C-alpha cells in the first residue's frame, strides 16, 4: 500500500467509524428507551389492576 493510498483509506475509515459510532450510540439509547417503556407499561398495568382488586376485596 502506498502512502497516498494509506491517507485515502484513513479518511474513508475515519468517516465510517465516526458514523458507525454515532449509530451505535443512538442504538444504545433506543435500547434504554425500550427498557423504560417496558417498565412504564408494567407500572401502568399494576395501577390499572389496583382498583379492581380493592373492589373484589370489599365484596
Partner 1 sequence: MAAAIALIFFYAPLDEDGLNQKIFYFHVPIAFTAYACFGWGGWKALRHLWKRDEDADLESYVAIHLGVIFGLLTLVTGSIWARYRWGHWWVWSEDQLVLFLVLFLFYCAYFMLRFSLPPGPQRANLSAVYALFGVALIPVSILAIRLSQRFIHPIAFDKGGPNMAGSQFFTFCVAVLAMFAVAATLYHLELAGKRLDVRLRELREALQ
C-alpha dist (Å) from residue 1 to 10, 14, 15, 54: 12, 18, 20, 76
36 touching partner 1, by CB under 8 A: yes
CA angle 26, 31, 33 (to 5 degrees): 95
Residues with Cβ < 8 Å from 9, sequence gap 6 or more?
A: 1
4 touching partner 1, by CB under 8 A: yes
C-alpha cell belonging to residue 27: 442504538
- Choose which of 20, 29, 49, 54 interacts with partner 1 (CB under 8 A): 29
37 touching partner 1, by CB under 8 A: yes
Q: How far is the CB of 59 from partner 1 (least distance, A)?
A: 27
Which residues lie near partner 1 (CB under 8 A)? 2-5, 7-8, 10-12, 14-15, 18-19, 22-23, 26, 29-30, 33, 36-37, 40, 43-44, 47
Amino acid at each position: 500500500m502506498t502512502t497516498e493510498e494509506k491517507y485515502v483509506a484513513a479518511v474513508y475509515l475515519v468517516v465510517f467509524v465516526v458514523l458507525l459510532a454515532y449509530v451505535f450510540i443512538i442504538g444504545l439509547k433506543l435500547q434504554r428507551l425500550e427498557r423504560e417503556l417496558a417498565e412504564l407499561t408494567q407500572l401502568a398495568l399494576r395501577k390499572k389492576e389496583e382498583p379492581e382488586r380493592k373492589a373484589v376485596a370489599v365484596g
